[in-house]
Amino acid sequence: MPELIANGPIKQTNLSKRQQKIAERQRQMAKQNNTNFRKAERNFKSKAFLPDMSNVIHFSQLEKNSETNLLKIIPVQLPVNLWELDRDMFEDPNCNLSDKNNENTKEIHKPFLQKAYTLSDHPVKKTLCDWACFPNKTNLDPFYNMEIQNSLFEQHVIDSENQITNPEYKAPLIKSLFENDESSFKESKSTTTKKDDTCTTDNTNSGITDIKNLETGENRTKCQTNLAVTQPKNEFYLQSHNASDLLDHLRWTTIGNQYNWTTKAYDIDKNIPVHDDLSLLMKNIIKCIYGAKITNENGTEQTVNAYDFSKYVVQAGVINYYGLDSTLLAHVDKSEENMDAPLISISLGCSCIYLVGGDSKQGNLTPILLNSGDIMASCGPSRTAYHGVPRIFDNSCPSFLTDIENEELDIQQNQVNWKPFSDYISKHRINFNARQCTL
């Protein structure tokens, strides 16, 4: 079995011989009339066969790369280090964090993880609690009354703790907007309650009949006439549920300017202030990469990002919540009027395969292994490139996020129970991004 990631190989699903033959037949049929992107997606999504990992780029472990892949990796000269911009937020570049779950690598350097974090301001908590509260919307808003005081995860923690201390405690239900629609129930009898694991986080709508990638409308910034929410086919969304049950179906939270999945545009009348700490984090990253350069083979320098950080404003963003079976199909982020400002995204929790291509799904593409703490800046041509996430890996979350007794997370001092966060992040990948919408 090939070595895949630092924290272990792929767990292969056990299939009968008959199932293996069916899977192989489907695999061969899928090879016909496929784009390069679709072929790569099928390769990494496969649970019946071990995917080909030979061309995957490893940034955190350069020694894992083939000679061919090493030639693709070009060092970037940054004008300033993130640690110098905010020493309370970022790790000293001379320090490393050990991962006890990692048998192959003893040290991991991550600029986004640092020992000064308290539980109250940890990015995992921010993405599940502080930044995920109403009035920011989630993929569940079209189906449920989500105007609750706490975030969905916070309510899940409250309910879980109350059930431990009081066996008679009944978790409150979050009401489905379709619960009293008898016609909905009649039409949904033949549907399944299985959750949709196609990650509809960044550019698709979850649980709705018509699932499409975002497309830029003629007017990107003006809210068009609101259309009715398509009736959900899945019977799950027709019933009220408690926060713990709904948490398994949480796929994304929109931040700041709210994106309208129906009109494919931002609702200018629904601009929600972006949290100051999130805005500061992203601005520091933009400042760090302003004027970033690479050295060409002939010795000349080339600037890869010239966007003036002083003009950058965080206006919108998405927090993506990926389960172990979640995927994100190939798409392009092109609904912003400002396509020159870099799009910044940060990974937390489990590792994933990130596919990035060009201006079409048929062109060359590069698979990248993204680990917890990785920061990606999409600048220039990559800002409009097709990209997707076909695979999340189990047993890949670093121990400094899952070990509740880790010295980096002082539970006693902060009086915060880290276990619910540890339980969640050990089986999920969280990705949060920020973007500037207007010029």
Whether 269 has a binding-site annotation, put simply, is no
| Residue 109 annotated as lining a ligand binding site | no
> Which residues, in sequence order, are bridge partners of residue 319?
253, 432
Token pair 């990015």 is at which residue? 123
Consecutive H or E run containing 257:
strand 252-260
Asked if 246 and 270 count as a contact pair (C-beta separation under 8 A), the reply is no
Shortest CA distance to 113 belongs to which of 368, 401, 392, 394?
A: 401
User: Is 241 annotated as contributing to ligand binding?
Assistant: no
**Contact call for residues 318 and 253 (beta carbons, < 8 A):** yes
CB 231 within 8 Å of CB 178? yes
Q: Is the dihedral of CA 27, 33, 39, 42 positive or negative?
A: negative
| 369 beta partners | 58, 353
For the chain, the first-to-last Cα distance in angstroms comes to 50
- Burial grade of 88 (CB within 10 A; 0-12, 13-18, 19 or more): exposed
Least Cα distance to 41 among 375, 355, 384 occurs for 355
Annotated binding residues for Fe cation: 331, 333, 387
Annotated binding residues: 331, 333, 387
